[in-house]
Structure 1
């Protein structure tokens, strides 16, 4: 499939208002399967922690296998529409399905329990204040994407979740040529992770957002140790790369690294792995390479100080509230994991700032990325802590001191909501889905056109575990 065809298909992605709720998403997939029983096979692959069946939808009978999984982080729903559009295309577009010669195994959402806790903002996803106030992200050890088995030096992880086990079995049963884990970011531009340096694929990964008028994110990467294959395209280097980097800074890697990713598991079978990270909002500074008057080291220190101050405020409220909390909600579990993590992140940034050349000037894109990370984290995790406290006030179990802490946090949170980045614009959902869809087509086309009989032959590609975010669970 040539690039022109991919761009045509991307341009045909329909517009959507908001994101589908979990029940609606499942109903749409079930209706597709019922309407096309000769093309779609539904297989139960596992059960969520709260007892919901997990299904994979097999479409087609091509000679290559692809696994595409949504909801690996339940606050990242762009992949819901992408998964559905991919399924509908492979059922209804015979020419495209034939050209890709692929058997698709699509999981609409692998963490329905977590996704339901974000549904309050799915209908209106472009109000960042509303989004953050109703935000939920599981604690790292409760994230499907980052709870695959891992063993490297002092790190050993085997606390596999039921959803992760289902994901693992699907990968092992299908031995995919291609794995796509459907993610998205929050603010800025488009960027990718790719397990192999493939110039033909990378060229299309750049062409797709350009055709839709979306910028690449060329500012601060998710982690400083990422290896750039091309602008806004990063290698899926292994967990050991993160470990060695943190250790070199004098930071205990065991505080940041636990489980491995889905790509790490799939690469054991020789899979090409790809992640397309997409923002809900774009900003003109996201790809502005103009130098600023601030050194990069000073930028790191300044933003570390700002983030550390916000983290300290949240930690104080959490510590004061903890003796009075009786409801072990997912919001409390997440708060207890992420709020202390903020302090560790600031220590890491200060340590790496000391190693930056004094004359290395920050770009506008880097400044925007660092400053917006501060806004992102205090809005996300301040909102989650508020939800944890409100679980008590709503249930009627909160004593007066806990209600006062809730009011104190709500007042501080309102000031953070007011400190929003000016100039941010929401991106039409069709363009976001289009980027993911186009990236999938580019990778599947590469696999189909480069058939060398590797499928099912074991780990013939690079077999190092992948790292698809800055710190597992952190982004």
Structure 2
């Protein structure tokens, strides 16, 4: 359990974070981290651990002594809250201030592990409160091109052994440091705060609840991201690994091959016995996100509606892709991601439909469950409809678009503009959350998780 005096110092630290209005772009992240390292050469060791596919330098900034803690920002490049968190941690450690400097350990901070992907999102970093603006500039890599989900895997017939350079850089850092704790700096999109943690970090749970409460942010009490995941505590779920997801999907009678194609950081971290922690923070909240009262709606009907809307989305995306794909001339991360997610959406309603058929779904849905299931298809429409449209527009702008590509884009844009209008109509019900409070939750809970992980490695700790 996090000691009361440490929790008090963590709360004081997060209260001191200054207001911010947007997110730093890649060049700003690198310049600030380098400035901190240059100002404290006796404290900070700067090491290039690899390069991105386009040749961007990937840097580790190491501070302190003791068991290693690996902090990785930008693991999903559409999740930039962690850029602020990584820089705040580095600044505190370099300047020997606050609870970070008191905890001990050798901190390895990689502020941006996927600079190529981050650059494809930078158009909305200055104004992240506008959900439609966010959607119009959205990019997320295809699953096998996501740094945290492209580790080697060989489990139940699913084999992957072609990690990309960014993942190899992170693998090399983990091989060298054998971390006690690894933290991917993620964030969600809409709802409340929730976490993933290895069960050995149970001592941090009280702090994981106290820190967002102190900052006035709700916990997310809606559907878990991975269906059927049993929480360790309210809004605290077991670490997600590819191996565990494959096993769970097969137990549910669902073919895992369309859903899991490669290993994750957690799978690789288990080689070292590393603890793992993730704090998921939303950009926007809604009163329904943490409302556990009855919705008056059947949980089965809620799931079936979700499945129907996901099927409709998959059909729209696949129709546009199948019409355009034979004529696409530009290979890019955006195209590969849009293609992968279009195919993924085509079968994404099956899981909800299968759960709806289970006897335990014959109950009333909570308000939070109904809301999260309703917004899930909306989120995917905005994300993946936009990515495919951006892919097709790139062909038009480059002058390589065949008539079939232009027709596919025109049809898709009709749907996309309707999806934007629908999301815009809901936007007035959303609360745009202050970025410094989101950073505060992430920074504070990372400190609590690090304290718990280091306690497990302390001399005399139960083994």
Equivalent in the alignment of 1:18 = 22
- Residue 402 of structure 1 deviates from its aligned partner by 2.4
- Residue 238 of structure 1 deviates from its aligned partner by 4.3
Equivalent in the alignment of 2:9 = 5
Whole-angstrom CA distance in 1 between matches of 2:240 and 2:394? 40
Equivalent in the alignment of 1:473 = none
Which of 34, 37, 47 in structure 2 is aligned with 1:43?
47
Instruction: Give the 3 Å change call, closer, same or farther, for CA 51–238 of structure 1 in structure 2.
Output: closer
Instruction: Give the 3 Å change call, closer, same or farther, for CA 294–96 of structure 1 in structure 2.
Output: closer
Equivalent in the alignment of 2:439 = 433
The residue correspondences of 1:195-210 to structure 2 (distance < 5 A) are 195-210=198-213
Instruction: Give the 3 Å change call, closer, same or farther, for CA 358–237 of structure 1 in structure 2.
Output: closer
Deviations 1:261-285 (A, max 9, x none): 1122123212221000010101110
Whole-angstrom CA distance in 2 between matches of 1:240 and 1:42? 34
Whole-angstrom CA distance in 2 between matches of 1:364 and 1:230? 20
Whole-angstrom CA distance in 2 between matches of 1:199 and 1:250? 31
Equivalent in the alignment of 1:388 = 391
RMSD of aligned alpha carbons: 1.8
SS at structure 2 position matched to 1:188 = coil
The residue correspondences of 1:152-171 to structure 2 (distance < 5 A) are 152-171=155-174
CA contact (8 A) 2:241 2:265 kept: no
Residue 90, structure 1, aligned to residue 93, structure 2: yes
Which of 245, 248, 251 in structure 2 is aligned with 1:248?
251
SS at structure 2 position matched to 1:402 = helix
- Residue 93 of structure 1 deviates from its aligned partner by 3.4
CA contact (8 A) 1:90 1:96 kept: no
- Residue 53 of structure 1 deviates from its aligned partner by 1.5
Whole-angstrom CA distance in 2 between matches of 1:237 and 1:146? 11
CA contact (8 A) 1:191 1:277 kept: yes
The residue correspondences of 1:363-402 to structure 2 (distance < 5 A) are 363-402=366-405
Whole-angstrom CA distance in 1 between matches of 2:144 and 2:67? 32
Instruction: Give the 3 Å change call, closer, same or farther, for CA 402–208 of structure 1 in structure 2.
Output: same
Q: 5+ unaligned residues in a row in structure 1: which ranges?
A: 462-475
SS at structure 2 position matched to 1:255 = coil
The residue correspondences of 1:312-323 to structure 2 (distance < 5 A) are 312-323=315-326
Whole-angstrom CA distance in 1 between matches of 2:194 and 2:361? 28
TM-score normalised by length of structure 2? 0.95
The residue correspondences of 1:71-470 to structure 2 (distance < 5 A) are 71-94=74-97, 96-236=99-239, 238-357=241-360, 359-420=362-423, 421-422=426-427, 423-453=429-459
Question: How many residues get paired?
Answer: 456
Deviations 1:48-83 (A, max 9, x none): 1111111100112x2221100011111111100000
Residue 32, structure 1, aligned to residue 44, structure 2: no
SS at structure 2 position matched to 1:328 = coil
Deviations 1:308-332 (A, max 9, x none): 1122011101111112211112221
Deviations 1:239-258 (A, max 9, x none): 34322332233321122112
Instruction: Give the 3 Å change call, closer, same or farther, for CA 238–131 of structure 1 in structure 2.
Output: closer
Bigger drift between 422-431 and 210-219 goes to 422-431
Whole-angstrom CA distance in 2 between matches of 1:454 and 1:161? 40
SS at structure 2 position matched to 1:230 = coil
Bigger drift between 15-24 and 255-264 goes to 255-264
Instruction: Give the 3 Å change call, closer, same or farther, for CA 245–445 of structure 1 in structure 2.
Output: closer
Equivalent in the alignment of 1:472 = none
- Residue 139 of structure 1 deviates from its aligned partner by 0.4
SS at structure 1 position matched to 2:438 = helix
- Residue 290 of structure 1 deviates from its aligned partner by 1.1
Whole-angstrom CA distance in 2 between matches of 1:52 and 1:237? 29
Instruction: Give the 3 Å change call, closer, same or farther, for CA 98–393 of structure 1 in structure 2.
Output: closer
Instruction: Give the 3 Å change call, closer, same or farther, for CA 95–79 of structure 1 in structure 2.
Output: closer
Q: 5+ unaligned residues in a row in structure 2: which ranges?
A: none
Whole-angstrom CA distance in 2 between matches of 1:198 and 1:125? 32
CA contact (8 A) 2:355 2:361 kept: no
